């Protein structure tokens, strides 16, 4: 593990522990390889009211130059949100997690982007190719070349 990798994640962890955005909290962050972050949608969107969703962040050794692997996971009563850009296996079609990644992004900013994406959704549906994608999906969403064609959701 490089010094800059550990230093950067250490700062991000301290910031999340002391100054997390509203509706975002650390569930688990025991090391610098995998974190679990819980998010809640903070507006009155009936699709997600009173629900908590869990994000899994896996950090490559080249973080923050390379994006982390981020996906929603199911865990003890926590479901994967239904959204036109979130597959039923938790993979997320969002450009900031792939080709739109920038090293200025943080765990906090990615979590807020996903929180905002959920808050703005009014469609209780999965992506149209959900069944086909999930049946053939790689383990890591970073191995998928998503086509970003719908910014309206």
Q: Which domains does the chain have, with CATH numbers?
A: 3-143 (3.10.110.10)
CA dist., res. 28 & res. 56, Å (int): 9
| pLDDT tens-place string over residues 66-90 | 999 999 999 888 999 999 999 999 9
Question: What would you report as the CA-atom Rg of the chain, rounded to the nearest whole angstrom?
Answer: 15
**Residue 12's pLDDT band (cuts 50, 70, 90):** very high
**What average pLDDT does the segment 25-52 reach?**
93
| pLDDT tens-place string over residues 42-55 | 888 899 988 999 99
What tokens does 42 get? Answer: 């903070």
Q: What is the pLDDT of residue 76?
A: 87
Say yes or no to pLDDT of 56 above 70: yes
CA dist., res. 88 & res. 95, Å (int): 18
- Of 93, 94, 114, 117, the catalytic one is 93
Percentage of the residues of the chain whose pLDDT score is greater than 90: 75
Sheet with 69-73, side-by-side order of all strands: 24-28, 34-40, 52-58, 69-73
- Whether 133 is catalytic is no
Say yes or no to pLDDT of 134 above 60: yes
């Amino acid at each position: 593990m490089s010094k800059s990798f550990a230093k950067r994640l250490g700062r991000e962890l301290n910031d999340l522990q002391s100054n997390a955005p509203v509706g975002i909290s650390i569930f688990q962050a025991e090391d610098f390889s995998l974190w679990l972050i819980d998010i809640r949608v903070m507006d009155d969107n009936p699709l997600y009211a009173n629900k908590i969703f869990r994000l899994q962040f896996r950090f490559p050794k080249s973080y923050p130059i390379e994006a982390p692997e981020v996906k929603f996971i199911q865990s003890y009563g926590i479901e994967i949100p239904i959204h036109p850009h979130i597959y039923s296996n938790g993979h997320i079609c969002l450009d900031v997690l792939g080709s739109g990644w920038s090293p200025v992004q943080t765990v906090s900013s990615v979590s807020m982007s996903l929180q905002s994406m959920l808050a703005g959704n009014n469609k209780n549906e999965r992506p149209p190719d959900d069944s086909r994608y999930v049946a053939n999906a790689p383990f890591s969403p970073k191995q998928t070349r998503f086509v970003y064609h719908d910014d309206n959701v």
